[in-house]
Amino acid sequence: MEIWLVRHGETDWNVEGRVQGWTDVPLNEVGRRQADRLAAWLRPVHIDHIYSSDLERALETARRVSRTTGAPITVRPCLREHYFGQAEGLLRSESLRRFPNGAPDREPPEHATERVVRCLKDIARAHPHGRVLVATHGGVVRSVLRWMGVDFTTIDNTSITRISVIGDTFHALGVNETPHLADLSALRQSNG
């Protein structure tokens, strides 16, 4: 089976460089266009099911894909971004200055990874022969890749990371793919 991890579309906090975590920041106009481009690109691809984080930026991305592909959506809070505690809402530079070792009330990274991997294994067991899209967050995608032994720091908005799952073995087929955003600069320029 295949799991296609999709990072949500752009938010204003992405543009500003703010730590989002569990703060429910919606997509901005560029993010909605990115999600629509992703949905159009996925139209001919058979997606059996869509799973989404319960945070609005991921859920709106999932809904836009579902409207085009017809795949049903199941919301799973276990697909949320890592919880960054007191760092949420701060600029990343300010967060690093104030909390060089992470905010004291944050979710430990290893707990977040365990939460997400357990969730993905459950999804894989529910769809042993299918292709599932998971609308989630950049930190989630990076933590899954690290768990798989793949070091990849940049995960673009609405990028696709394709994973093959056989039993409990995960193998990356493609990372941070954005064929639907070939003319991203045109999207930004038209946004003013």
Q: Torsions phi, psi of 79, nearest 5?
A: -95, 5
What is the spatial distance between Cα 113 and Cα 121, in angstroms, rounded to a whole number? 12
Q: Is 153 annotated as a binding residue?
A: no
Q: Are 91 and 16 in contact (CB under 8 A)?
A: yes
Six-digit token string for 59: 């859920």
Q: How far apart are CA 6 and CA 10, in angstroms?
A: 12
Contacts of 16 (CB under 8 A, 6+ apart): 91
The verdict on whether residue 22 carries a ligand-binding annotation is no
Residue 31 marked in a binding site: no
138 has binding-site annotation: no
Catalytic residue check, 81: yes
Q: Which of 16, 60, 81, 129 is catalytic?
A: 81
Residue 41 assigned ligand-binding role: no
Is 8 annotated to bind a ligand? Reply is yes
Q: What is the DSSP secondary structure assignment for residue 23, as one 8-state letter?
A: S
94 is catalytic: no
9 is in an annotated binding site: yes
> Which amino acids are annotated catalytic?
8, 81
Query: Residues marked as binding?
Result: 7-14, 57
Query: Residues marked as binding for substrate?
Result: 7-14, 57
